[in-house]
Chain A
Amino acid sequence: MSDTVEEKIKNYRTAPFDARFPNTNQTRNCYQNYLDFHRCNKALSAKDQDVAPCEWYQRVYKSLCPMSWVSKWDEQIEDGSFAGKI
């Protein structure tokens, strides 16, 4: 929290421990970060701000989510059939 977002992204190794998801089941961790990335992009670009801080969520979901899930969700977003609220 003392690092800026850029420093945290630059020193990124892997998704850190997230206290919201302390248990074995990390499915929601992956999904939440995917949602947060897209919501962050949508919110910041609606205000015409720099979307660089959203990169953190992208790094985390790329670390956690299987590639097949990510490509399926990306296709659904393009089709407009994605079930999550973005």
Chain B
Amino acid sequence: HALMIVFLISTLVLYIIVAMVSTKLTNKYILDSQEIEIIWTVLPAIILILIALPSLRILYLMDEINNPLLTIKAVGHQWYWSYEYTDYEDLGFDAYMIPTQNLVPGQFRLLEADHRMVIPVESPIRVLVSADDVLHSWAVPALGIKMDAVPGRLNQTAFIASRPGVFY
């Protein structure tokens, strides 16, 4: 379908170009036309604004639809992450990367950690990312999340893991 439309449009444009170039009729008397130029500048601008405003509103509204079942805090340190699950009790642990020489066959280099962050499947989860010392960034590409960890600031991100497994 898309290719069909591409060919349709290019044929139309080529025909118009050839028709414009190879005509004997020339119009020497129109010098300017302020009215129509104003109209076809202002009208598209208005249309674009009418599209942009609801779009921006929806962008921020999408961030709000969020009824998490669990809140986890990921705090960045030099050079490990600590995870806190404090909804019911004060549970916290550190997660260090497994050094390459200690990897077991089957594990991923630079991705494995000694303690993984465990989450319930198919549940909306809120992660609050912060840092203890310098700027860090917390990301799980397989879940489509990345959030900067800024000392003194709590950045919120939310996700749902739709299937069980290990996500890196």
In the complex, which residue of chain B has the Cβ closest to the Cβ of A62?
B86
Which residues 67-81 in A have Cβ within 8 Å of B in the complex?
67-68
A25 CB contact (under 8 Å) in B66, B68, B84, B154? B154
Check A68 against B126 for contact (C-beta < 8 Å).
no
Determine the distance from Cα of A12 to Cα of B86 in the docked complex, in whole angstroms: 12
Determine the distance from Cα of A23 to Cα of B60 in the docked complex, in whole angstroms: 8
Given the complex, which residues of B lie within 8 Å of A22, measured CB to CB?
A: 60, 63-64
Given the complex, which residues of B lie within 8 Å of A29, measured CB to CB?
A: 154
Q: A15-B71, A25-B155 are in contact. Are A66 and B130 (CB under 8 A)?
A: yes
Tell me if A's interface is mostly helix, strand, loop or mixed.
loop
Q: A13-B69, A23-B63, A24-B157 are in contact. Are A67 and B87 (CB under 8 A)?
A: no
| A-to-B contact residues, CB < 8 Å | 12-17, 19, 22-27, 29-30, 59, 62-68
| B-to-A contact residues, CB < 8 Å | 60, 63-64, 66-71, 73, 75, 84, 86-87, 90, 92, 126, 128, 130, 132, 147, 152-157
